Amino acid sequence: MSCLDEPDPENPLGKPDVPENVQEAIRTLIAWAGDDPTREGLIDTPKRVARAWLEYCQGYQEDPAIHLHRVFEEVGGYNEVVLLKDIPFQSHCEHHMAPIQGKAAIAYLPRDHVVGISKLARVLHGFARRLQIQERLTAEVAQCIWDHLKPHGVAVVIEAQHGCMTGRGVRTPGVGMITSRMMGTFLDDERSRKEVLSLMGY
């Protein structure tokens, strides 16, 4: 192994370098909050926080629609609802950068092709791993599936708890927020809408 192949002892996992101005911004925040950013327990915190936020926001580095490019047309004539529910996700509120934790149900009524079920979760995570509000997240997931799969209908329901409400401000834990977006037949046909919501457990 050449010296170029040897891992950096200061960064054995090869994590991305953190610019000094980013680290200084985090040190400033720590000091402003009332602690000493130079004490032992906090000395490496700026790097850790910065790398964590790169991971939290990795959705900015991808186009969620890419997961819907490969479809399957041999479906044996299947033309009923495809539903993936209880998909866990984590995001961060764009107003306070506090955690949002929840679950999503995503359904579509295929026209002539389907997509691998894991791809629906990947679309959700692609949008969730950005600074978000729940209403936009719900709409973005539904619109992406509608635009790229071109199904008869799309239904997305998201239920989540928000750290900006449970950990600060009103400080009311255990409160869940539910948002939904219906498109196509799930919007236009009441019976179809009731059916998909029942399958989702709502």
The bridge status of strand 131-132 relative to strand 153-162 is unpaired
Sheet arrangement for strand 99-109: 131-132, 82-93, 99-109, 153-162, 177-184
Q: Binding site annotation covers 96?
A: yes
CA nearest neighbour of 183 among 106, 122, 91? 106
Q: Rg of the chain over CA atoms, in angstroms?
A: 21
Contact 183, 146 (CB under 8 A): yes
130 Cβ contact partners less than 8 Å away, ≥ 6 residues apart: 57, 59, 60, 91
Decide: helix, strand or coil at residue 90.
strand
H helix or E strand, kind and range, residue 76: none
Q: What is the Cα 115 distance to its own chain's centre?
A: 19
Q: Binding site annotation covers 93?
A: yes
Q: Binding site annotation covers 164?
A: yes
Please identify every residue annotated as catalytic.
93-96, 134, 162, 164
Torsion of CA 184, 187, 191, 192, to 10 degrees: 40
- Residue stretches of the annotated binding site: 93, 96, 164
- Residue stretches of the annotated binding site for Zn(2+): 93, 96, 164
